[in-house]
Amino acid sequence: MNKDITGLIVTGGPLDYEFAKGFLENRQFDMVIAVDRGLNAVFKLNLTPKVIVGDFDSVEESVLQDYKNKHENITWEIHKPEKDETDTELALNTAIRLGCTKLVLLGATGGRQDHFLGNLHLLYACLKKGVEAAIADERNWITVIEKSRTFEADKIYGKYISFLPLSEEVKGITLTGFKYPLFKKDITIGTSLCISNELMGASGKVEFDSGTLICVESHD
């Protein structure tokens, strides 16, 4: 079995550094990719990126010079501000091209909500390419799924687990092991039926017949 190649992408959105330090303490990644202003965060977290992506008009000059002068093996992907893709999409494409099979994005939820929604849709693009991707912040772990998933109480990100349709309709949702179970329920965009559920025991499972779900594990 081939080993997963894990990547950490640090985007340019607001990031709680205390959370990020704790998040990284017990996690290891095969590569780090900094996205534009996210390089400031990477510097503060004392990380060495494999690739730096962006136009760098919002990166502190001292940080740029540090990485340019002290880290010869970094790949710089410099783009003009006028482009079709966001810097985060370019970074994801680079990570996938370099062989990443699992990705985590930090700094992808705060700040501008258009960027957050765009990042959420990028999770779907990763899913379609066979890459397991998640957005994490101090309260949330966000993924998108198109098949059943089991949740273990000692491994989930927070107390609450919510499901929202990313496709127009998700058919035949069955929730077992949850406080609010379901059996073969169809949901469409515009419903809040599956928000703020909780596990009742050691594990729970979501199954559905078709569609794409946004899954948010969260705590207050």
Residue 207's pLDDT is 98
Residue 70's pLDDT is 78
pTM score, two decimals?
A: 0.94
* Rounded distance between C-alpha atoms, residue 5 and residue 44, angstroms: 24
Residue 1's pLDDT is 57
Collect all residues with Cβ–Cβ distance below 8 Å to 213 and sequence separation of at least 6: 144, 145, 146, 163, 164, 165, 166, 170, 173, 206
Residue 213's pLDDT is 98
| Parts of the chain with a pLDDT under 70 | 1, 81-82
Please, what sign has the CA dihedral across residues 126, 131, 137, 138?
positive
Other C-beta atoms lying within 10 Å of the C-beta of residue 169: 12
Ordered by where they begin, the domains of the chain are 6-138 (3.40.50.10240), 145-218 (2.60.120.320)
Within 13 Å and on the Cβ side, how many CA atoms surround 126?
31
Using a 10 angstrom Cβ sphere, with 0-12 exposed, 13-18 middle and 19 or more buried, the burial of residue 108 is buried
The structure tokens 């000692």 sit at: 154
